[in-house]
Each structure stands twice: as structure tokens, then as C-alpha cells.
Amino acid sequence: MKANGNYEKGVSYALDKLGAIPNVYHYIDAGHHGWLGWDSNLAPAVREFAKVATTNGASVKDVTGFIVNTANYRPTKEPYLKVTDTVNGQTVRQSKWVDWNQYVDEQSFAQAMRDKLVAAGFDSGLGMLIDTSRNGWGGSARPSGPGTQTIVDGYVDAGRIDRRIHAGNWCNRSGAGIGERPTAAPAAGIDAYV
């Protein structure tokens, strides 16, 4: 569909037609940090979103915002892990699990994506939604603090909430559960957790 242009045409057509209807709010699915969190993926995605929102009759004004983590398991926030953390001279980005990604959770990714979308011409009131419907993970094995500060992979693996084998993995996660309850305006630039 992308190769023949029908995906772009279909989304821009929908934005144009639905944008004319009052009280209809359009949030475009924007994947998640495990797919788009690298510089080589995020910038092209933002360009693609801007292209779709400005062709075939659509306007950036037809876009209320974007939603991340749709039907996925990415944690809203990683409480014991930041992409800026360093362990024995190695950044968290160098760990096997983070794999040079710029983000370790959906909230930081959504906020950064929003900033890039606004810089690309979207309205400054653009909002983001984060799907939290199945990104909870509980039980006695849930990390209760950061990993030990000896090697970067051990630090990341011991302290991360996301327990899958890789951030881009989309398999059902054992022990997953409902994440944070729906909340309006939980953070800057975030319209809601849904």
C-alpha cells in the first residue's frame, strides 16, 4: 500500500472528509518508541506524517494529534532507567536492549515526537495519546529499583519494566496487564492516557 501511494491517499482522504465534521477528533497512529525511536526512523516518520496531512485535500488542522503504543506493551514510563544514564562509561543507549534507541519509554518518545511534529508544521496545540490498555506488568518479579551499576546490560536488564527480549518485539508479554488508568492531561503535550 505504501509503494503504490494508496496508504497516503487513504489517510489524507479520511483526514479531509472527517476534518469537515464538527466534534470529530483525529489521532493518527504513530507506532511506538521500539519502532521509531532511532533518529534514522523518527525524522522520516515525521516527514511522512506531514506529507499525508498536507495532501489530497487534508490539512494539518485536520489532525488533533497522534497516538502511540496502540495495542502494544511499551511502558508509559521506565521509572528506574533513563536514556541519559551511564554505567562505567557506557551509555544506556549502548546496551543490547536499548540498541542505540533515543527513548526507553512511550512518554518521553511521545513528547519528543510531538515537538518534532510541531517543528514540521503541525499546530502548536497538537496533542498525544498513549495507549496504556495492556502495558502494565506486575507481580513479584517487577523491578523495585535500578539495576546494579557495574555493567550497562546488567543495569538495563535488571531495572527495566519492559520485560520482552527486544524493544521492537511485538509478541504477547507474559505477565502483562492493564497499565495506568485513563487520565486526562497527565503530562506536558500528552492529551491523555487511554
Beta strands in the chain (DSSP E): 27-29, 65-68, 86-87, 90-91, 127-130, 136-137, 176-177, 183-187, 190-193
Q: Select from 117, 126, 122, 85 the least CA-distant residue to 103.
A: 85
Per-residue model confidence (pLDDT) at position 1: 54
Give the rounded percent of residues in the chain with a pLDDT score beyond 90.
74
Computed over every residue of the chain, the mean pLDDT equals: 91
| pLDDT above 90 for 165 | no
Pairing of strands 65-68, 27-29: parallel
Q: What is the DSSP letter of 111?
A: H
pLDDT at 170 over 80: no
Q: Rounded distance, CA 83 to CA 85, Å?
A: 6
Give me the residue spans of the domains in the chain. Answer: 6-193
pLDDT tens sequence across 6-41 = 889 999 999 999 999 999 999 999 999 999 999 899
Class of the 6-193 domain? Answer: alpha beta
C-alpha grid cell, residue 133: 490498555
- pLDDT band for position 2 (50/70/90)? low
**pLDDT for 38:** 93
Task: State the cell numbers at 122.
Answer: 503541525
Tens-digit pLDDT profile for residues 151-163: 999 999 999 988 8
**pLDDT confidence band for 148 (50 / 70 / 90):** confident
pLDDT digits (tens, 9 = 90+) for 52-85: 999 999 999 999 999 999 988 889 999 999 999 9
Tell which residue, 42, 47, 44, has the closest CA to residue 68. 42
- Over 70: is that where the pLDDT of 91 sits? yes
